[in-house]
Structure 1
Amino acid sequence: MKYLNKIGLGVISVLSMVSCAENSLLDFDVKKPESVQMYEYLKDYDVLKAYVNRTENPDFILGAGVSLNDYIQKDYRNSFISSNFDEMTAGYAMKHGAIVGDNGSMSFTGVERFIETAKEAGITIYGHTLCWHANQKASYLNTTIADREIEIDPNDANNALQITTPEAKANIWDWQLEYTMPTPLTEGVEYTLTMRAKASSVYTVGFWRTDGATTNYGPDIALGETWGDVTVTFTPTMNATRLQFCFGTFGGDLFFDDMVLTASGSEDNLIGNGTFDEDDLSQWGKPSWHSYTFSIEGTAAGPATWWTNLVNNSNVETDDVSSFFATEITVGPDAATIGADGTGADGVGRAIVVKSGDNPSNDWDTQFFVKGPMQLEEGQAYRFSMKVKADKPATIASQAHNNPGGYLHWSMVGSPAVTTEWQEYSNSGVISASQAGMNTIAFNLAILKEANTYYFDDIVWEIEESGNTIPLTDEEKRDTISYELERWISGMLEVSKDYVKAWDVVNEPMDDGNPYELKSGLNKAPADFASDEFYWQDYLGKDYAVMAFKLARQYGNESDIHFINDYNLEYNLDKCKGLIAYVEYIETHGARVDGIGTQMHINVDSDKDKIAQMFELLAATGKLIKVSELDIGINKKTSEATEEDYQAQAEMYAYVVNKYKELIPVSQQYGITVWSPTDSPAESSWRGGEPIGLWTLNYSRKHSYAAFADGLSGN
């Protein structure tokens, strides 16, 4: 082997300086220290990439993990990488978190400089990575799916009743506003009045009812200086014809909005134009001698509370059945059938159609589920309504579930009596302690113990919200995150595709505890998320990788090589099998995966049998196989390492290279990337202070260098 040391081999440099000293000063033999002698053989090795057998495997790529900022300085670090390796993988600088700003803007300046510097050196770049849960600009992505603000336009049907009094008078009846009932209230019936209201200063309005001869006083209505909800309940002792609001001792502005008056057992609003969004005050009036003014104005400040519908496609106008599930149905697993046009309420549009089976054992053998996007908490107010009919009359029962099939509590929204004619059913209430955590309403449909067909339409399940924001639906979040993934991948590939021809498209998808399932953040507490952690799959589902691979192909080059990559595949063989199964899933859903990357951040005592088994499993896929991030630790810090440790490390490096070449067919060998060519500095975030490399921190070759080189060459 020839000697070529371009980089400054630490120990050899010392020897060189000694040899430059004047011979006249050396009148006796100098014996080299044993620690120097045992490494002196390394000076005879060539640069590392010279040991790849290009005749036997011309496509084999020897890669290195690098810092983009270090490499573009064009100093000794640049020369070191370019001399020893074919390809570079940037550790961080080509990831979403490095490119995307807090406002979503993308800056590719560093990537462009990286590409230009690589071109000059004649070394290729491996793209890392397009879709991962870590190193993401999570702060920005989370803002795109955050609760949206309610936009209030005071000139767009969002008005209130404004009452302005010029001064405060002596008696509460000195200013009065009356509402004349179209139909008198009924003596002895309980009524509830609700509205939103505020005043220019804190005040209590007197609320009276009268038939012209008798007056009922109270309960009074307390108003604050900001919009708030008001609810009063009363039972008139006469057939009241007028409601009276009295505020004679007040000087300033009063505001009423969203006024609803209902009789017990009814949801019909007895107040006409209670939202004040129409220009109609015909039922309102004041005594003629009163000098205050009242009018409909664009002064509503947005609801103090409002209701959010949890159901997608409530009116069954589209093919979206994401909110509806059923058992014993004829199409698709876990989906509800959408009927033909004309099956909807009153023969208009479409309905959800669910067929119950014949001779069931239990009422719940056929169930229809309505699922919301979130789990509800104790004390949360809800209201539910739907239009429903059946081929045969039946009284069905409801349950609260924490997912379809996860029973929590009986009679969630009552027991609708279903007839053969369309009718509307409604129910409202507050989530109880035993219902807490529910996100699904289940209806038991096998009540007749014989076959029946049910039709559901106009399904509205609302929860009460407070503040000035409203949550996005699951569908809205999915659309938003799909857009962001496409925007990110298309932007990166537009800049890089002319030079970067291979990519980690999806990185680390599989869960460690459930290795046949995807990683997820759904069960993590907010405090447990890292600041750069964002799970695309939690919004896009299992097909998130299908989408990523399709986008990479669409915006890159047809000939690009696309990898899926994960870690601990040699440690957990089930994870390796789970990743292989996921590749099969991706490809059966229309995307192409060219290769599988195994990271291999291992130690000298890692299980060699499992390493071999992993390579065998990967080879059997027929895919390109890449060792994507190889480094080997000794379970000690550099300051504690012994000669025996370094010999063991060299032996393990040799084992990995040899087994890769032995068990992965040449046609499937993409190559090996050394993730940390030098030992790791103490301050590094990656295995800090560990001697994991082929070179020391001062770029002296280690025994691992020789072992790795010999493995590449087959010696």
Structure 2
Amino acid sequence: MMKINRKINRGIMACVMISSLLSACTEFETNDIVVDKPQSIIDQEVLDGYVKLKTAVDNASQPNFKLGVELTINDIINNGVFYRLMQTHFDQAALSINHMDFVGTDGVVALGNLPLALDTNKAVGMGAYAGNLVWHEKQQAAYLNSLIADIPVPGQILNDVVADFNTDALGKVYPTTSAAIRATVVADPDGRSGNALRILRNTGGNNYPQILVTLPVGRTLGQYSSVSIDFKGAGCCGLFGGGMQLGISTQLGTPANIKGYGGPSSFGVADNVWGRGTINLSLSNLNLTTAEKALTTFYVTIGSNTGAPDYLLDNLTLKGVILAPPIVKTPEEKRTIITAELRKWIKAVGEAGKDKVQSWGVVYQPMDETTPANLRSGVSINPKPANVFYWQDYLGKDYAAVAIGMLKQYANPTDKIFFTETNLVDNPAKIQGLKDFITYTAGKGGQVDGIATELALNIDADKGKIEAMLQSLATSGKLIKIRALDIGTGGTTPNATPALYQQQAEMYKWFVKAYFTKIPAAQRAGITFKSAIDRASGDSWRGNEPVGLWTNVKSGSTVNVGIQRKPAYLGVLEALQGK
């Protein structure tokens, strides 16, 4: 066992004069104290002594291979301990660049700190891979959909006065829902609007006049949304009470659909003063049937619910809007609009990454999960989730070739182009669908250099399926990149044991070796680790899982000991070294 010597000089000359007890100086002997170093510290020192990961890569035999790590923009521009550590171990930073994160609700592209991060990353000598440029998720979908939405056309406003009593003879009596109430045509006491209808208590009761309405030619009841009436009454006799009542029927008698509303005073009608056009009663409250909406002639039952009525009604009016058909944009118009938006997006990102990004994940998750030979589509998804927009539904199958052409124009023509697809272990049919799509895209002028995939594995993952996936990818003849790899223990960090960490190390080692075995050297585009450090408890991705090659160790609850290598680090290192 390794030991450590610590010499503590105990040779202290103490001259202490204590009356009659001590009369001279005493010299203490020097002792050597030997302390055993804990095995955990020894093991960690051994791990820390291994070489940096990227120094173990054989670049000569596999010139396209990049050892990568996923980083955020903040990781780079903050230039903290973590980023500086990543520089020493990896030669490529992988960044996810999503439409929603850089395009505002007004469509303006604002890249924020992305250009600074790319500049910083280039300055320290790291390469860059930028992905997810054209995806269906994390898109500024509300803005894009607004551009291709139907154009509304102003409708025809209906404001039809169906009864003003001016053509009626004075004294004409209208039917009511009970003989207890009389409704008689009288002259407007203000002398301003001709005739009006007076509702007056006869023998008692709160019943309402019924007015036969014949609509203008071409109109139906369903085209209207409300009924308006002028009202004049005193507080005693209808201004207050149980509220306005409204019903529609095809015959006399109390309508089955009669409903109550607020009283005239609640609509702002003053005591014994005409309220002109202020009472407006919605027809939606009546829940009209399809047959009722088709009516052209019917009775309107309307009045104030009061036990002692004496009020005036005038100018019964039906209101509504006949909506005109909207202007629907053609597929060609939508394609033109969305192509322009794609160009605006690709141009901004491509120019920011020019000479700083060497490889791009242009199309992300293009293939359908259920029918892998087809592209994903949102045509049958209604309503669509927030921030989801399928570019291919408007640009067609050529959308990938269009995006590649734009990127080559604004970035570097020599940059490597990747298509990224996921869930290839459990849905291997997607690999053939992806290969066919790449062939189609090439035929449209969009050359694709490689295929990237993401793998979130655990220590018990099916190795046979993984090997089969790698073998199938290799048959594409394209560069093969593992875009985001992490391997968990199957549980959370608090439940991880030394035995589980060792199995994790073995699984990491096995995977890297399997990649080297199944993917020919000329096709190896590299492996990028999604989670270099174990995930924190609040992370949205595999939160509180020990999936990294490093762990961030804390002593107690606040003191940060630092980022330390795990057995998984050694597993990856040995695989890179061919051990």
- After TM superposition, the score normalised by the length of structure 2 is 0.66
Tell me the C-alpha RMSD between the 2 structures: 3.9
Deviation, 1:704, is 1.1
| Alignment-mate amino acid for residue 706 of structure 1 | L
Deviation at 1:618, TM superposition (A): 1.5
Seen in structure 2, the aligned counterparts of structure 1 residues 226 and 505 have a Cα distance that, compared at 3 Å, is farther
Specify whether residues 593 and 250 from structure 1 end up closer, same or farther in structure 2 by C-alpha distance, changes over 3 A only.
same
Is 1:171 paired with 2:167?
Answer: yes
Q: Which of 212, 217, 233 pairs up with 1:193?
A: 217
1:105 to 104, 108, 120: 108
SS at match of 2:418: strand
Name 1:714's counterpart in structure 2. 578
**Alpha-carbon distance between aligned partners in 1 of 2:66 and 2:435, rounded to the nearest angstrom:** 23
Deviation at 1:68, TM superposition (A): 1.1
Alignment-derived partner of residue 94 in structure 2 = 89
Q: Per the alignment, in what secondary structure is the counterpart of residue 78 of structure 1?
A: helix
In 2 relative to 1, CA 628–252 (structure 1 residues): closer, same or farther, beyond 3 Å? same
Post-superposition offset of 1:227: 13
CA distance in structure 1 between the partners assigned to 2:344 and 2:131 by the alignment: 17
Whole-Å separation in 2 of the counterparts to 1:34 and 1:612: 37
* Alpha carbons 1:65, 1:676 under 8 Å: kept: yes
In structure 2, what is the equivalent of residue 480 of structure 1? 337
Change (3 A) 1:662 1:198: closer
Matches within 5 A, 1:274-285: none
SS in structure 2 of the partner of residue 563 of structure 1:
strand
Aligned twin of 1:47? 52
Distance 2:107 2:150 in 1: 17
**1:616 pairs with 2:471:** yes
2:5 and 2:33 in contact (8 A); partners too: no
The SS at the match of 2:471 is: helix
Give, in whole Å, the separation in 2 of the partners of 1:706 and 1:571. Answer: 28
Deviation (angstroms), 1:540: 3.0
Secondary structure at 2:513's aligned position in 1?
Answer: helix
Cα deviation code 1:190-238 (max 9, x no counterpart): x99215999999369xxxxxxxxxxxxx99xxx997999997769xxxx
1:490 to 339, 342, 347: 347
How far residue 619 of structure 1 moved from its aligned partner, in angstroms, is: 1.5
- For 2:93 and 2:459, how far apart are their aligned partners in 1? 25
CA pair 617-173 structure 1, distance change in 2 beyond 3 A: farther
Structure 1 letter corresponding to 2:394: Y
Separation (CA, whole Å) in 2 of partners of 1:150 and 1:194: 20
Change (3 A) 1:201 1:678: closer
Letter in structure 2 aligned against 1:38: D
Residue 150 (structure 1) aligned with residue 153 (structure 2): yes
Residue 569 of structure 2 aligns with an amino acid whose one-letter code is: Y
Cα distance between partner residues in 2 of 1:59 and 1:233:
78
List per-residue Cα deviations over 1:401-451 (Å, max 9, x = no partner).
xxxxxxxxxxxxxxxxxxxxxxxxxxxxxxxxxxxxxxxxxxxxxxxxxxx
Paired residue type of 2:125? G
User: Structure 1: which 5+ residue stretches go unaligned?
Assistant: 1-14, 153-157, 177-190, 205-217, 235-248, 256-300, 308-468
Given the alignment, which residue of 66, 73, 76 partners 1:61? 66
From the superposition, tell whether residues 304 and 43 of structure 1 become closer, same or farther in structure 2 (CA, over 3 Å): same
Identity, % of aligned positions: 35
| Aligned equivalents of 2:463, 2:357: Cα separation in 1 | 34
Q: What's 2:424 paired with?
A: 569
The AA in structure 1 aligned to 2:90 is F
**Aligned match of 2:454 in 577, 599, 619?**
599
Q: Distance in 2 between matches of 1:601 and 1:149?
A: 47
Question: For the structure 1 residues 621 and 701, does the alpha-carbon distance in structure 2 shift closer, same or farther, using more than 3 Å as the test?
Answer: same
Q: Partners of 2:227 and 2:347 in 1: how far apart?
A: 55
1:683 match: secondary structure: coil
Kindly state the Cα deviation for residue 491 of structure 1 after the two structures are TM-superposed: 1.9
Instruction: Within 5 Å, give how 1:186-585 maps onto structure 2.
Output: 193-195=217-219, 202=228, 304-307=322-325, 472-526=329-383, 529-585=384-440
**Are the equivalent residues in 1 in contact too, given 2:6–2:34 (CA < 8 A)?**
no
- Structure 1 residue identity aligned to 2:141: A
Note if 1:672 corresponds to 2:533.
no
What is the CA–CA distance in structure 1 between the aligned matches of 2:422 and 2:439, rounded to whole Å? 18
User: By how many angstroms is 1:577 displaced?
Assistant: 2.2
Query: Which of 699, 704, 715 is the matching residue for 2:568?
Result: 704
Shift in alpha-carbon separation, 1:490–1:173, aligned structure 2, 3 A: farther
Q: Is the 8 A contact 1:199 1:253 kept in 2?
A: no
- Distance in 2, matches of 1:24 and 1:514, equals 79
Q: For the structure 1 residues 588 and 203, does the alpha-carbon distance in structure 2 shift closer, same or farther, using more than 3 Å as the test?
A: same
Distance 1:200 1:136, change over 3 A: closer
Classify 1:304/1:663 alpha carbon distance in 2 versus 1 (closer, same or farther; 3 Å).
Answer: same
Which structure has greater helix proportion?
A: 2
User: Could you tell me which amino acid in structure 2 is paired with residue 64 of structure 1?
Assistant: V
**What letter matches 1:171 in structure 2?**
T
SS of the aligned residue for 1:88 comes to: strand
Asked if the contact 1:680–1:697 (Cα under 8 Å) also holds between the matched residues in 2, the reply is no
Deviation at 1:515, TM superposition (A): 2.5
Is the CA contact (8 Å cut-off) linking 2:417 and 2:448 kept in structure 1?
Answer: yes
1:138 corresponding residue in structure 2? 141
Alignment deviations for residues 488-514 of structure 1 (CA, whole Å, 9 cap, x no partner): 112211222232121000011122333
**Cα distance in 2, alignment partners of residues 520 and 548 from structure 1:** 17
Match of 1:650 in 2: 505
Provide the C-alpha distance between the structure 2 equivalents of 1:173 and 1:50, rounded to a whole number of angstroms: 106
Q: How many residues are paired up?
A: 437
Counterpart check, 1:632 vs 2:496: no
Deviation for aligned residue 1:151? 5.6
- CA offsets per residue over residues 130-182 of structure 1, 9 Å max, x none? 10112222232233333433368xxxxx9x99999xxx774359999xxxxxx
Q: Quick one: distance in 2 between partners of 1:304 and 1:226? A: 18
* 1:582 to 1:97, Cα distance in 2 relative to 1, 3 A: same
Distance 2:103 2:158 in 1: 47
Residue type at the aligned position of 1:703: P
For 1:63, the aligned partner's letter is: G
Matched to 2:456, the amino acid is H
- Pairwise CA distance, 1:57: 2.8
Q: Gaps spanning 5+ residues in structure 2: where?
A: 11-30, 171-192, 195-214, 231-249, 252-276, 284-291, 298-312, 554-562
Post-superposition offset of 1:39: 3.5
- The verdict on how the C-alpha distance between 1:173 and 1:626 changes in structure 2, with shifts beyond 3 A counting, is farther
* Cα separation, 1, equivalents of 2:456 and 2:160: 73
Q: Distance in 1 between matches of 2:548 and 2:64?
A: 24
Q: Is the 8 A contact 1:570 1:611 kept in 2?
A: yes
Q: Secondary structure at the match of 2:550?
A: coil
Is the partner of 1:492 in helix, strand or coil?
A: helix
Residue 531 (structure 1) shift: 2.9
Q: CA deviation at 1:51?
A: 1.1
* Cα contact 1:147–1:470 (8 A) shared by 2: yes
1:72 match: secondary structure: helix
Q: Is the 8 A contact 1:48 1:709 kept in 2?
A: yes
SS of residue paired to 1:509: coil
Distance in 2 (CA, whole Å) between partners of 1:161 and 1:525 is 33
Distance 1:572 1:36, change over 3 A: farther
Q: 1:200 to 1:655 in 2, by over 3 A?
A: closer
Q: Helix, strand or coil: the match of 1:505?
A: strand
Q: Alignment partner of 1:696: what SS?
A: strand
Change (3 A) 1:193 1:633: same
Aligned residue in 1 for 2:125: 122
